[in-house]
Structure 1
Amino acid sequence: MSIGKEMLFFFGALGAFNGFILSLYFLFFTKKKYLSNLFLGALLFILSTRIVVTVLVYFNNNLSKIYLQIGLSACMLIGPLLYYVLKSGIRNNILIQWKWHLATWVLVILIIGFVFPYQNYPVLWNDYFVTAIFLQWFSYFFISGFENRELLQKVTQNYTDSSPSERWFGMIFLGNASIFMAYFLGFARVPFVSCITGALAFTFILYLIILVLLHRKKTDDLFLLNIQKDKKLNNEEAEILFQKLENIMNEKALYKNPNLSLKDLSKEVNISSHQLSQFLNNNLGKNFTSFVNEFRIQNACEIITSNDKLTLESVGYDVGFNSKSTFFAAFKKHTGTTPLNYQIQALQA
């Protein structure tokens, strides 16, 4: 191996190794678990996998074809993950269907890999699957750029006037654009360009990301473009969501589940936990526990009024409280009186 190739191998392998390390940081070690940095961690992991395969295959053509299959398959997840990095970070309104979206692509990769392994169908992969993979990658890249065109235009034309988070997401998009172009030109066999160029582009972009993180003492403001603590839905949107919540809580009696969580309820109304929490706090002026307890207390009042044979403690358990003391405290907070006094008043009425 010549000195030039040794240098290429060194920088390509180093970029991949550091990419894996940085992906673990975003996935597990950031202080706040924003979806955007989790998606970024997954994106870096997939890109690093692609780079490892590129470096290995470039310097050893005799490797098993399974490596080529893994590398090409990884490309099918780059586009979707880039899309969700930008959508969750810039727009902060991602729906929970992202899990099914990504799971579908993983399933497609597994099915194609088992039914048409590269080892047995090299022509099919080289002539058709590669084209489809790059078309899928480009489609997600194009949609991501189109949806966030205003931010990209601001970053490229007025870099100094853009915020740190805007520059951060702009760099992520443009970095992925560079990697895509390098790989696309390499597969298209453009003169003086090979797939190893994609590995070097990744290494370069990766170190830009590391420099940004090392330069800033605080990084949480990078992962969400608009962090608005007092953000409210407009009256029409708030009324629609409130009616949806109220109907689901009453029809399914979700409040009777003592282990009901914010995440469980957010899935029922098809929004993120963050959006639901924001709505409850900013539009309704209450936290999740207080919101659920209102339904429990309302149901408890109905039971106490209609049935004097049940003990008050059993009523509390029936409507979803997991202890007598919690039920009594919540009842007094929401009605201004104790369950016993409410029962006496109901019997006297």
Structure 2
Amino acid sequence: MNFSSQLLFFFSALGAFNGLFLSAYFAFFIKNRNRSTYFLAGLLFVVSVRVTKSVFLTFYDDISTHFIQVGLSACLLIGPFLYLYIREAMKPKKHGFYGWLIHILPVIIIMTILGYYFPYSDHQYLWQRSVQGYLSWLMFTQWFIYIILAFGLIKPILLKLPSKTEKLSSKEIWMTTVAIGVFIIWLAYFTSRYTSYIVGALSFSFVLYLSILFWILKRRKTSLFFEEHQKYASKKITSVEANDIEKKLSVIMETEALYKNPDIKLKDLADKLDVSSHFLSQLLNDNLDQSFAQYINGWRVEASKELLKDNENYTLEAIGFEAGFSSKSSFYSTFKKVTGVTPAIYKKQVS
């Protein structure tokens, strides 16, 4: 290999090997492991195996066909592990202990059958994306379907991206990054016929290191892979202290209607209570099980419900602004998320 090829090999292989290392780290060494971390480890492992195959196949023509077979088959598990990781991270322990097997076990059985009856060594045309590459099209289609399912799970998060009042948590940003990253890798491999086969491996290295950089920049006292309430696990607020602050908080919100300010910040409310922003954030997360945005929007929704009952001459948009929402779309999406119906339907129900 010349120097440029060696450089290309180094950067594409580096992501794959580090992906394998991180997979082992999340599966065996990280503290407070749970199912979401195991699914993330599985996702990193199968993507790394797929990428490793691509790297060696590009630079070494005499690579074992059995290794190629394993690398290609790993594609069938990328989508399921992505979906399971996001599902578990968003709704932990809501799907039964063995509910994940329906997404993994059939795929492993299918991989084994296909590898036995249609091995890559004898049926290369089936595994290559050509007119007769039926198995290749099957893998990419199945992978893409699971990507769509994963994006369906994070749809509420994606809807909050343009909002100025609803801030994403670190975990929400991380899940979105993982889903988008897997889609980029899928797209790179899917279009490799028109670019280069190594683009898929390079895209994985890029996504992996960009995600690591993001984690370093956004790192806090909690891991991005666990529940938000673990953030303050080492410094619990006593129940007596929490009840006292909660009462003061409710009085201030009722008397001063701070939620009507669309630009209100956590620090603004903390200053009113004469506590630190960190303390108030901990109180909301640990004792009320809400983020600051969720807490403020809860007051806004209640205020808008009263306005919908008593103001026949107000437009829905005006009611939203009066309650403190910064936009019509934010009002509609938040109101429906909290009440289960749109403002218009609610107004008809209470009229």
TM-score range, shorter chain: 0.5 to 0.7
- Percent of aligned positions with the same letter in both sequences? 37
> Counterparts of 2:115 and 2:148 in 1: how far apart (Å)?
26
SS of residue in 2 equivalent to 1:169: helix
1:125 aligns with: 127
1:1-349 equivalence runs, <5 A: 1-92=1-92, 93-95=94-96, 96-126=98-128, 127-155=133-161, 161-186=167-192, 189-190=193-194, 193-215=195-217, 216-224=219-227
Distance apart, 1:25 and its partner CA: 1.2
> Counterparts of 1:102 and 1:9 in 2: how far apart (Å)?
31
> Counterparts of 2:15 and 2:162 in 1: how far apart (Å)?
26
Which residue identity lines up with residue 169 of structure 1 in the other structure?
A: M
Which residue identity lines up with residue 220 of structure 1 in the other structure?
A: S
> Counterparts of 1:65 and 1:82 in 2: how far apart (Å)?
27
Could you tell me the TM-score, scaled by structure 2's length?
A: 0.59
> Conserved in 2, the CA contact under 8 Å of 1:79 and 1:137?
yes
> Conserved in 2, the CA contact under 8 Å of 1:166 and 1:225?
no
Which residue identity lines up with residue 48 of structure 1 in the other structure?
A: S
Which residue identity lines up with residue 36 of structure 1 in the other structure?
A: S
> Counterparts of 1:212 and 1:25 in 2: how far apart (Å)?
18
> Conserved in 1, the CA contact under 8 Å of 2:86 and 2:153?
no
Distance apart, 1:89 and its partner CA: 0.3
> Counterparts of 1:195 and 1:224 in 2: how far apart (Å)?
38
Which residue identity lines up with residue 144 of structure 1 in the other structure?
A: A
Could you tell me the TM-score, scaled by structure 1's length?
A: 0.60
Provide Cα deviations, 1:15-50, integer angstroms capped at 9, x if missing partner: 111111111111112211121111001110111111
Provide Cα deviations, 1:82-106, integer angstroms capped at 9, x if missing partner: 0001000012223322124311211
- Greater RCO structure (CA 8 Å; 6+ sep): 1
> Counterparts of 1:211 and 1:156 in 2: how far apart (Å)?
23
Q: How many residues align?
A: 225
SS of residue in 2 equivalent to 1:220: coil
Structure 1 unaligned segments of length 5 or more: list them: 230-349
Distance apart, 1:225 and its partner CA: 6.2
Distance apart, 1:133 and its partner CA: 0.4
Distance apart, 1:152 and its partner CA: 2.4
Distance apart, 1:210 and its partner CA: 2.4
> Conserved in 2, the CA contact under 8 Å of 1:16 and 1:51?
yes
Provide Cα deviations, 1:123-150, integer angstroms capped at 9, x if missing partner: 2323110000000000101111123212
